[in-house]
Structure 1
Amino acid sequence: MFENNQPSVAVLLPCFNEEVTIGKVVRNFKAALPDATVYVYDNNSTDRTAEIAAAEGAIVRREPRQGKGNVIRAMFEDIDADVYVMADGDDTYPADAAPAMVSKVLDGYDMVIGDRLSSTYFQENKRPFHNFGNRLVRGSINGLFNAHVTDIMTGYRAFSFTFVKTYPVLSRGFEVETEMTIHSLNNNLRLYEMPIQYRDRPAGSVSKLDTVGDGIKVMSTIFRMIREYKPLPFFGTIGLLIGAIGILLCGGVTYEFTKTGLVARFPTLIGAIMLVIVGLLLFATGIILDVIAKNDRKTFITDTNQFAYLRRHFTKRQRSE
């Protein structure tokens, strides 16, 4: 990957019907990173996106599986580089921020996040539900992982080679950015946030986001990953709530028994005992899954260290040849 001791940089642009903006985006990234290779992955576009990108000098490939997550999965599998810069093809992210992002990755960060929310996003973005969704997702994830990430869902990011080759892309659609952030926080990867000047889509360019549909997918992804990455808080909280309801119901029946010497509500007593048992089972499930999740994090760290070692060994051998 190293040629003349210069790190290779790949610009990744997933696209679906972006003929209005893709030419300008490719030109801007070629100007900002003249030594980088620009890849445009066309995701079943019905317009001239692929043709325009190729005319501007980008390497165009096609991904038939619909959805941004599927495109990113294909990009990460196919392309080898020392640093990756990922952006959208809609001309909302400034290409002139890319060199600084690349520099941070070369300094040792696993992922650099192009932070829209600290600059112009809320002024430029004209979709209020998107603004609300960004705040909701940010608050949920930061609260759970005790983190301080400002922009959870940005599509402008830079990655190291090791991150790209060890990150399991599970999401199929726009929720993939949220998944990336949660994966990084859960595995204590090195993150760096860099404020960028976001701008809204130019006239004639149409957003592919479905505010309600994609919002539900993002929240479903958060729910699923909390269940997988933080099972003890997830199952433990549900178990405590159910168990507490059962104990309160048992308390009511017990109080009546102390007054009358009779158990007048047997169905309530049986249901209350079942609720307490279910609560205990959920709490025990959370403990077991929490141990498994910690072992998975240990395995990920071990595998990442081995992967990084093999890459360094391979790079040294290439340099010596």
Structure 2
Amino acid sequence: MHIETSDPSVAVLIPCYNEEITIGKVVTDFRHVLPDATIYVYDNNSTDATARIAAAAGAVVRKEPRQGKGNVIRAMFEDIDADVYVMVDGDDTYPAEAAPDMVEKVLEGYDMVIGDRLSSTYFAENKRPFHNVGNRVVRGAINILFDAHVTDIMTGYRAFSFTFVKTYPVLSKGFEVETEMTIHSLNNNLRLYELPVQYRDRPEGSVSKLNTVGDGIRVLSTIFRLIREYKPLPFFGWIGVVIGVIGFVLALSVTIDFWHTGMVQRFPTLIGAVLLLLVGLLSIVAGIVLDTLAKNSRSRFILDSNMSAYVYRHNR
């Protein structure tokens, strides 16, 4: 959606959980580079002084009782109306200086601008090697499956248009929400722009809320679920082909024995082979049916996005 206005409203969204060490600086930095923006800090059950410090720095502070970053983003997207949204973590790992350029790209017509850490300093600054490996694995898998070239799949620094925010269904509850956003955008052929940003590791005393193993499993589960929903034909098709090939090989071995002896000596194998062939065929058919439904869902999404943009422009 291209916004035809000389004075667009900008909302900076900062989901926070126990970030008292860094939140004051983050709010101050974004107030400096985006002086006309409204900065929202959503406190997700913090047990420290995050909310008080954020309010003192000039942010609008709200509470979100449902634990998890995905739940916080869902609340933000539901509650706040703006022409442009900038989302950033409260841990002071992303540079506020990049925000004006991200806002400008949204105003040019992009649906989502991605703050690309991986093209700059992420792998040098990030002190968690398993996170580096995880980023590469997730990036490679998604780009192959969606025939895309996105560099940073899981960044927490993004900018969005009004239409994206109001039509994006936030389903994930935790940190896997960024991966979900990227897959949603690729599946619906949205306009994406990657802007390289300088990443810096957390300052001393600031503790990451990420659990390398637990959150990694949730991210992989999210990818698995979204591929099943967005790409059902390749997903179920390949499962069907593998199962069908196994069934065919077993049936072929029984057929060869019958050719040589004139007798079916392995009835259990033959029955299992036929069942595997049927299951493989049904899986392929299910993939075809679900692929049709997925295409209809993408069509509805486009119509919803167009209607949202139309209503928004005519209500300004």
TM-score band by shorter chain is: over 0.9
- After superposition, where does 1:48-197 map in structure 2 within 5 Å? 48-197=49-198
Point out 4+ residue stretches in structure 1 off by more than 3 angstroms: none
Cα distance, 1:311 vs. partner?
A: 1.1
Structure 1 CA distance, aligned partners of 2:311 and 2:89? 32
Whether 1:225 aligns to 2:226 is yes
Question: Identity over aligned residues, as a percent?
Answer: 76
Amino acid paired to 1:174: F
Deviation by residue 1:225-281 (Cα, 9 ceiling, x = unmatched): 000000000000000000000000000000010101000000000000000000000
Structure 2 CA distance, aligned partners of 1:60 and 1:72? 14
Of 303-312 and 151-160, the range deviating more from structure 2: 303-312
- After superposition, where does 1:281-292 map in structure 2 within 5 Å? 281-292=282-293
Whether 1:298 aligns to 2:269 is no
Secondary structure in 2 matching 1:69: helix
* Residue equivalent to 2:251: 250
- After superposition, where does 1:7-46 map in structure 2 within 5 Å? 7-46=8-47
Structure 2 CA distance, aligned partners of 1:105 and 1:84? 9
Secondary structure in 1 matching 2:41: strand
Cα distance, 1:303 vs. partner?
A: 1.2
Amino acid paired to 1:34: P
Amino acid paired to 2:116: D
* Residue equivalent to 2:213: 212
Amino acid paired to 2:279: V
Structure 2 CA distance, aligned partners of 1:65 and 1:312? 32
Secondary structure in 1 matching 2:199: coil
Structure 2 CA distance, aligned partners of 1:60 and 1:196? 26
Structure 2 CA distance, aligned partners of 1:138 and 1:116? 13
Structure 1 CA distance, aligned partners of 2:7 and 2:104? 12
Whether 1:203 aligns to 2:227 is no
Cα distance, 1:192 vs. partner?
A: 0.1
Secondary structure in 2 matching 1:41: strand
Aligned residues: 314
Cα distance, 1:152 vs. partner?
A: 0.1
Amino acid paired to 2:119: S
* Residue equivalent to 1:310: 311
Secondary structure in 2 matching 1:289: helix
Structure 2 CA distance, aligned partners of 1:256 and 1:40? 71
TM-score by length of 1: 0.97
Structure 2 CA distance, aligned partners of 1:286 and 1:124? 43
Deviation by residue 1:276-304 (Cα, 9 ceiling, x = unmatched): 00000000000000000000000110111
Structure 2 CA distance, aligned partners of 1:5 and 1:311? 16
Structure 2, unmatched stretches of 5+, are none
Structure 1, unmatched stretches of 5+, are 316-321
Cα distance, 1:5 vs. partner?
A: 3.8
Cα distance, 1:221 vs. partner?
A: 0.2
Structure 1 CA distance, aligned partners of 2:44 and 2:266? 62
